[in-house]
Amino acid sequence: MIEVQHLCKQFPHRTKDGRQGFKTAVDDLTLSVGRGEIFGLLGPNGAGKTTTIRMMTMQTKPTAGTICYDGLDTRHDARRIKSLIGVVPQHINFDQDLTVGENLELHARLHHMARAERRARIEELLRYVELTDVVNDGVRRLSGGMKRRLLIVRALLHRPRILFLDEPTVALDPQVRRRIWSLVQDMARNGVTVFLTTHYIEEAEALCDRVAILAKGHLVDLDTPQRLRQKMDLPNLEEVFLALTAETQAKEGR
Amino acid sequence: MNIRENLMDIATVFWRDWVVLKRRLAKFILSRMVAPMLYLVAFGWGLGRSIEISSGTYLDFLVPGILALNSMNISFNSITPVHAERIYHKSLEEYTIAPIWPDAFLIGKVAAAVVRALISSAIIVVLAVLFGAHFQMTPLFLLVLVLNCVVFAEIGFLAAMKIRTYEEMAQVNTYILLPMSFLCGTFFSTQALPAAVRYFIELLPLTHTSYLLRGIGSGADVSYLSLLVLVLYAVAGWLWGSRAFRRLTE
């Protein structure tokens, strides 16, 4: 479903001595994700998770490498791919001048949904995440948990085949987090491929079929949570994560 | 290229701005009456009584200038919230992630800014008539007004795409729009300026709008070269704005 080959991203950056240079955010990342899989990209802050998702969702261009979805290349088929993907960003990015319903309506129109279909789908999804009562409220008035749920249903509105979630449960209380996890699992059961980034180990362990561990832009390991634990002979994914990222940091420091 | 989808995309971008404007329409109309009213009172009635103009009154001379500068200001400022959407709310990502024709965003935003500026212009026309001004409104007059709105909406769009901070956005108003408001043949003819300044001022789009609106409004013959200048500015603004929007995802 998703094929990422030798992906690199460098950003212009001013070095310590004030010269113009480049900083590598993602370095030679290669991975593939199967249809209906929940795939997690795990890494500490600044590992390159968000940059990877931004490249995969065509928000920023790779410096090198390719990204393909069922053979469609992001360099040539951007518009076609955009109709297949749904994106839940890390930050809240609603249109602040529109209400909850209008934000969803805008999204549905941008995805060329017909009037009757968009009305029915908006109603169905708002009911699903229990936000029907706030449909006519401005988005500024929603609580953090409500905003997160709305971000997710907005991304699902046009029935994407691949769902990207960038730190979907960051700064949420445990109840809301669990609720979002069950929403993501429902999606995968319905055949949606889910690609998520997180730095919560328990989230990756609870949700993901496979995880890739990223540190300082490098892919450190990629496997099922269970096999990663067995390989390292460690009791949980958190220990595996700490061991692998510490190893990378030590190598970088050398 | 799917033309039907592209048109739908333009309509969607326009729809969003129309929803926001509709909610604030009464406030928008009232606030747009203040500045032109002050110009008409201060420069038309007050200062205008002591100014001699070869043809008609100073008020007749002034109204096309006010229309030009007001449509410039409204169209530019209607599009500047896009800057906050890009930098602070990050809500432009909704458009860059969506399967839309990228130029639809520019066209939809410019069209919405033109509508706002035309509503504001209509208010000035009504006020000017009430103040006793005389001018003709022809289809060409309207075309020039629309072109002026397009040019300055595109400049606003470009600023919203390129500029990083609120402070710098405000500086565009201070260093570009404000001097143009006063110098580009709006309140007095550019002939009154020293030659070197005049040559520079006559390169600017607002000078051509003032000249055209004043000429057409008084029934005089106008040079189509000025119309061509406005068209060239509009085309250049589209090309540059379109490139700037596409570069957001580089």
Residue pLDDT, tens place only, A159-180: 999 999 998 888 777 887 888 8
Q: Which of A89, A102, A111 sits opposite B99 (nearest CB)?
A: A111
Per-residue confidence (pLDDT) for residue A253, from 0 to 100 = 57
Total-model pTM: 0.90
pLDDT of A118 higher than 90: yes
Top residue of A72, A81, A91, A110 to mutate, by most chain B CBs within 10 Å, is A110
Over residues B107-126, the mean pLDDT reads: 95
3-state secondary structure chain A: CEEEEEEEEEEEEECCCCCEEEEEEEEEEEEEECCCCEEEEECCCCCCHHHHHHHHCCCCCCCEEEEEECCEECCCCHHHHHCCEEEECCCCCCCCCCEHHHHHHHHHHHCCCCHHHHHHHHHHHHHHCCCHHHCCCEHHHCCHHHHHHHHHHHHHCCCCCEEEEECCCCCCCHHHHHHHHHHHHHHHHCCCEEEEEECCHHHHHHHCCEEEEEECCEEEEEECHHHHHHHHCCCCHHHHHHHHHHHHHHHHHC
Is the Cβ pair A106, B90 closer than 8 Å? no
- Encode pLDDT of B137-156 as tens digits: 999 999 999 999 999 999 99
Is the Cβ pair B98, A111 closer than 8 Å? yes
CA gap A135, A129 in Å, rounded:
12
pLDDT of B55 higher than 70: no
pLDDT of A254 higher than 60: no
Q: Say which residues have a Cβ less than 8 Å from residue A49's Cβ, sequence separation at least 6.
A: A41, A42, A43, A166, A167, A197, A199, A214
| Sheet of strand A2-14: strand arrangement | A20-33, A2-14, A64-69, A72-73
- Encode pLDDT of A130-150 as tens digits: 899 999 999 999 998 899 899
Over residues B114-134, the mean pLDDT reads: 91
Work out the pLDDT band at B1, boundaries 50, 70, 90.
low
Per-residue confidence (pLDDT) for residue A252, from 0 to 100 = 64
Count contacts between A and B (CB, < 8 Å): 69
Over residues A8-33, the mean pLDDT reads: 91
pLDDT of A198 higher than 90: no
Considering only residues A119 and B49, tell me which one the structure prediction assigns the higher pLDDT: A119
Over residues A211-217, the mean pLDDT reads: 91
Question: What are the chain B neighbours of A83 within 8 Å (beta carbons)?
Answer: 99
Is the Cβ pair B250, A80 closer than 8 Å? no
Q: Which of B20, B95, B249 sits opposite A110 (nearest CB)?
A: B95
Per-residue confidence (pLDDT) for residue A237, from 0 to 100 = 76
- Mean of per-residue pLDDT scores for chain A: 90
Q: Say which residues have a Cβ less than 8 Å from residue A13's Cβ, sequence separation at least 6.
A: A20, A21, A22, A23
Count of CA atoms in the C-beta half-sphere (13 A) of B112: 26
Per-residue confidence (pLDDT) for residue A228, from 0 to 100 = 84
- Tell me, what's the ipTM? 0.90
Q: Which of A110, A253, A208, A62 is nearest to B98 (CA)?
A: A110
Considering only residues B204 and A254, tell me which one the structure prediction assigns the higher pLDDT: B204
- Encode pLDDT of A25-64 as tens digits: 999 999 999 999 999 999 888 889 999 999 999 999 999 9
Per-residue confidence (pLDDT) for residue A227, from 0 to 100 = 87
